[in-house]
Structure 1
Amino acid sequence: MTAKTLSRIAVYAILLVAAFFFLAPLYVMLATSFKDADQIRAGNLLSLPTSLNFESWQLAWSTACTGVDCRGLKPYFWNSVTMAVPAVLISTAWGAINGYVLSMWKFKGSEVLFGFMLFGVFMPFQVVLLPMSQVLGFLGLSSSVGGLILVHCLAGLAGTTLFFRNYYTAIPRELVNAARMDGAGFWRIFWRIVIPMSTPILMVTLIWQFTNIWNDFLFGVAFSGADSKPITVGLNNMANTSSSVKSYNVDMAAAVIAGLPTMLVYVLAGQYFVKGLTAGAVKG
């Protein structure tokens, strides 16, 4: 056996071990969600369910209690959809325009402005809770889905601007200069030249923003009201709801439901995410 073969076997072994550790929690969640109470009490944590029992999934979706509200995760799920979709689209479009301006239409002080915007990438979100709550109160958006959309757009703007600005700096300036000489203006260049070349970074930003917004708990628990809580808050309330017998199968089914959209996004569009991250990394 050659050294190259041994090296390849070692690499595969390490990857398999890493995959096992990463996938083990997901396996436990899925297996437990399909078990009934008797199987959970009598079985092993890693044992397979004797049959597929979807009752816990139905309870988690529509009738499980989160505090005194016994409507399951369904209203929280749709709150998250209503919040995440516009917030992702708005923050991505806003970041694309900012990146376009800061890379191709530079003005005096643009680099300084970009530097200040970078503070938003590294600033902990806890420091903006109080001023953001005051802004939402002033705008009349407190405890509403609209307020959460605004918060996530502002919180994600620095990151989306950074993504697009760095990507657009790799676009040949000759294309933009030629379009200007042909009479194309700001928006025509953006829609006809820049956006068609932005598919990789658009996919990266959309996936990145959707994951961050859907999985967010801090803003959801701080700025939502009784009827606008996202699914992460609903899941937390469900897991912490006291009952005479703890329904681990319902909690696990609820956790899978809460994480399913982001898992599907990465399964269906993960290849575009990797391509977008590597696009422009090597310039010939």
Structure 2
Amino acid sequence: MTNTRPVSTGERLARGGIYAILIAAALVYLLPLAVMLLTSVKTLDDIRTGNILSLPVEIVFDAWHKAWSNACTGVSCNGVSGFFWNSFQIVIPAVLISTFVGALNGYALTKWRFKGSELFFALMLFGCFIPFQVVLLPMAQTLGYVGLANTTTGLVFVHVVYGIAFTTLFFRNFYVGIPNELVLAAKLDGAGFFTIFWRILLPVSAPIIVVCIIWQFTQIWNDFLFGVVFSGQDTKPITVALNNLVNTTTGVKEYNVDMAAAIIAALPTLVVYVAAGKYFVRGLTAGAVKG
């Protein structure tokens, strides 16, 4: 039989107090989302006569339809659907490329060290701290020289360049904790650089891969500065389209449409965090305490 110590009244009260504080904090944190949801399903008359937390008199989804389906023309923007898919065309390749290159860099910097590898890593780490505004002009010139200005491919290139520094840092810290004996044994068996990478390092890298994917996905999806500077009229990401929508006035400010568009823009990152949030914390802590 297993002896279990009875929980005292004081411990129950303390535990209840902790849960009460956590629930209250969660409610406060979710309050803006509740306001956005309520506003997005209200009519304009309902918004004018009620307060921000009042329940809708009638639930309507016209604002959602308008926020999604209409397109931008000239300087006026009335919808985000096309730009929603633009963001996916930017995010998916940028995340995959930067994660893969970061994994290779982290592997080489920990298991195949070369002369100057520490300096190389220090320079990449230094790149993490360069303000984005500093490189806007040089990056615009570079994209122009290679013919990628105002294109989706150009935005992918920009995000890959900036993402590699962070993914290399994550993978390098994670791979430091993997025993070198595994790599040495594989070398003795005749395995080469890429064989070791594919068959030994990558299979155990799932936690840090999830960290890099979530980190990069969130950073790139929510980016506005690079999107507004380096995109063309038809290649804008959803953050730029959302800004245009919110700041476009045609006589009547449609707050319900603005809120619906903002929720649409935030949905992918919410889905990613809900689906893989626990793996993010696990992988981040695994890589943060090594090396």
Same fold (TM over 0.5): yes
SS in 2 for 1:245: coil
Judge conservation of contact 1:66–1:238 (CA < 8 Å) in 2: no
Q: 1:58 aligns with which of 65, 70, 76?
A: 65
- Residue 209 of structure 1: aligned partner: 216
Query: What residue number does 2:186 align with?
Result: 179
> Which residue of structure 1 lines up, in the alignment, with residue 254 of structure 2?
247
SS at match of 2:252: coil
Q: Which amino acid aligns with 2:29?
A: F
Gap regions ≥5 residues in structure 2: 1-7
Give the Cα separation in 2 of the matches to 1:142 and 1:243.
31
Aligned mates of 1:208, 1:48 — CA distance in 2: 35
| Counterpart Cα distance in 2 of 1:259 and 1:280 | 27
Deviation per CA, 1:106-164: give whole Å up to 9, x if none: 01110111011101112211111111111101111111111100000001110000000
The question of whether the paired residues in 1 share the 8 Å contact of 2:174 and 2:288 is answered with no
Matched, 1:13 2:7: no
Is 1:131 paired with 2:138?
A: yes
> Counterpart of 2:281?
274
Match of 2:240 among 226, 229, 233: 233
Is the Cα contact below 8 Å between 1:56 and 1:250 reproduced in 2? yes
Is 1:116–2:123 an aligned residue pair?
yes
Find 1:49's aligned residue among 56, 70, 73: 56
What percent of counterpart residues are identical? 63
Q: Which residue of 2 aligns with 1:156?
A: 163
CA distance in 1, matches of 2:47, 2:114: 64
Q: CA deviation at 1:177?
A: 0.5
Q: Secondary structure at the match of 1:276?
A: helix
Specify every segment of 5 or more residues in structure 1 that has no aligned partner in the other structure, as ranges. none
> Structure 2 CA distance, aligned partners of 1:208 and 1:250?
29
Give the CA RMSD over aligned residues: 1.6
Q: Separation in 2 of the partners of 1:17 and 1:132?
A: 45
Q: Deviation digits for residues 204-247 of structure 1, max 9, x if unmatched?
A: 10011000000000100111111111000000000000121110
Question: How far 1:271 sits from its partner (Å)?
Answer: 1.7
User: C-alpha separation between the residues in 2 aligned to 1:210 and 1:70?
Assistant: 25
Q: CA deviation at 1:71?
A: 5.7
Residue 220, structure 1, aligned to residue 227, structure 2: yes
**Counterpart amino acid of residue 203 in structure 1:** V
Which amino acid is the alignment partner of residue 184 of structure 1?
A
Q: 1:161 to 1:215 in 2, by over 3 A?
A: same
Task: Report the CA distance between 1:66 and its aligned residue.
Answer: 6.8
Evaluate the alpha carbon distance shift between residue 66 and residue 52 of structure 1 in structure 2; reply closer, same or farther with a 3 A threshold. farther
Instruction: Identify which of 98, 107, 113 aligns with 2:105.
Output: 98
Q: Return structure 1 stretches of 4+ with deviation > 3 angstroms.
A: 64-71, 280-283
**1:67 to partner: Cα distance:** 5.8
Q: What is the aligned length?
A: 283
**Matching of residue 107 in structure 1 with residue 114 in structure 2:** yes
Offset at residue 178 of structure 1 (A): 0.4
